[in-house]
Every structure is written in C-alpha cells, then in structure tokens.
Amino acid sequence: MVTGGGAGRVPGVAPAGDARRRARGGWEDAGVDIPYDSSAAVRDGIPEHGRVPKYYAVKARLVPLLDELGEGGLLPTERDLAVRFGVSRETLRQALRELHLEGRLRRSGRGTVVAGPKLEQPLSLASYTEGVRRQGREPGRTLIGLERHPCPEGLARELGAEPGASVWHMERVLLADDERVGLESTYILVERVPGLDREFDPDSSFYAFLSERLAPEGTAFGDADERLETVLATPREALLVGTPPALPMLLIHRLSRDTEGRPLERVRSLYRGDRFSFTTRLGS
C-alpha cells in the first residue's frame, strides 16, 4: 500500500487527512450533504474524494426518508421534494428513477409509495409457489396460453425427443399478492402429460401437479440445470408483466430431469429485477 505524500497519491482517491476533513458535517455536493459513517464497511458508492453527481446526493438523502415512511408510505410530491432538497425537478426525477429500478419505490393509484422488501426465490427444485408462501405472500398465476406444437429441433434435443414430436407450451404471468412479478414459459412433451389441458389448474403449482403424476411411475423430480442472466424485457413481455421495457429482468433457463435421468421439462422464467432476488446455499 502506498502512503505518505503527493508522489504516492492514487488518482481519484483523496489522502486520509483530506477525506477526514471533508467528512466533518457530511459529504458536500452542490449544497447537498451526504451523511458519512467512517465505521461503515461499505461506503454506499461514495468515493473517497467525496464528489458525487448531484442526483446521487439527492438519492442518498431520500433513503432515510423511505425508511421513515415505511412500506406503503406515500412519498411527498416531486415539487415538495425538489424544494426540500433545493434541486431541480429533473435532478430529483433521476434519483427517483434509480430508486424505482432498485425496487425501493413503486407506483400506485395514489402516487409513488415505498415498496416492500424483494421476494427471495431459492435456486432449487422447489416451486415458485413454495418460495412465495414462505415469505407470507400469496402466489398466483394468470394463464396466457396452453397449446401443443411440433417440437423444434433444438428443444427436441434438450427434451430427448425426435424433432416434430408433440410438445406442450404453457405461458403464465406470475403473481404475488395479485402483483405481476414475472412471466413463465414451460415446455413438456405431450406423451409425459397427455391430459394437461384437461387435468391441470393453470392457477396452481405445475411442480406439485407433475410430482403427483410421476409418483405412480415410480419416479420423481431428480435434478436440473439452471442458467441465470440479466436481460431487458421485449415489448410484449413488458406489456404482460406490466413494467417499462427499460427495467432490468432476471431470466432463468431450467432443464429438469427425473430420477432416472430422463429430461422432464424446459422452463424459461422471467422475473422483475426490482421485485426479486435469488438465494442459494453452497457447500464444500
């Protein structure tokens, strides 16, 4: 580590003495103070030199206000907040946009309110229903379509079938307490569940339904491969989920197999980035 005088200075990082002097009374940016906690392990994105964009300074001042209002609390009007922080409404809007993208705020019929905590979905074979209920929320689904199609070559390869084999495609909007939070597409060979369109309630857990169907065959869900990435929703997906097209989404591709190692289902799940986080447990 380089210490001492000017010759050892790292560009963009202020010497400790300068940082301590600027820390007195809070960080300063265009007249807006940002509280500074010298004992914090993470500095909330504020560089050592203390200079941040004006909107970020406003955002940092908004966070304690959201904590004070609590979940569901109504945010003051843009005009009132701009006056309170002494900034233009455009600067304020940029700060609010980031808080929306991070899931701290949401729009409601009466204005902008403080959002609740993000839903934590486990990366496991457990169903969406189980994950949402564990957090005291009520899961739900809206069926967009359930149709059978000839299986294209790439999907047939994943499902261990011949190209052209009949495959179900089920598309559903995922809900949590009636709030749209995701979009799920499931592909499964018709020969595995020939009566799917008659026997399955699309508002229920497909994982539970399939588990019951597999039990008489002496098999069950075995394992799965998953791939997670960040994407932007297409215009159609954004319309179905009820989000702006610019909102980052979390996309999970899953290929499940039964206990005999046979491919079972191919699932594409799109989750709102402002309402979901994912957890997993790692072992040695």
**Distance from C-alpha of 138 to C-alpha of 179, rounded to nearest angstrom:** 10
**89-101 vs 78-85: helix crossing angle, rounded to 10:** 110
Write the CB contacts of 166 (distance below 8 Å, at least 6 apart in sequence). Answer: 148, 149, 150, 151, 189, 190, 191
Q: How far apart are the first and last CA of the chain?
A: 33
* Chain-centre distance for alpha carbon 197: 30
pLDDT for the residue numbered 46: 63
Q: Which tokens is 90 given?
A: 């455009």
Q: Determine the Cα angle at 112 with ends 50 and 231, to 5°.
A: 70
Q: Which tokens is 54 given?
A: 């004006």
pLDDT for the residue numbered 81: 92
pLDDT for the residue numbered 113: 85
**Distance from C-alpha of 249 to C-alpha of 228, rounded to nearest angstrom:** 10
User: Which among 123, 135, 146 has a CA at the least distance from the CA of 206?
Assistant: 146
Q: Determine the Cα angle at 209 with ends 140 and 143, to 5°.
A: 40
Per-residue pLDDT of the chain (284 residues; tens, 9 = 90+): 434 444 433 333 334 334 333 333 334 443 445 555 544 444 556 666 667 788 888 888 888 888 888 888 899 999 999 999 899 999 998 888 888 877 788 787 778 888 777 777 766 666 677 777 877 788 899 999 999 999 999 999 999 999 999 999 999 999 988 889 999 999 999 999 999 999 999 999 898 899 898 888 888 888 999 999 989 889 899 999 988 877 888 899 999 999 999 999 999 999 988 887 777 777 77
User: Which among 268, 250, 232 has a CA at the least distance from the CA of 158?
Assistant: 268
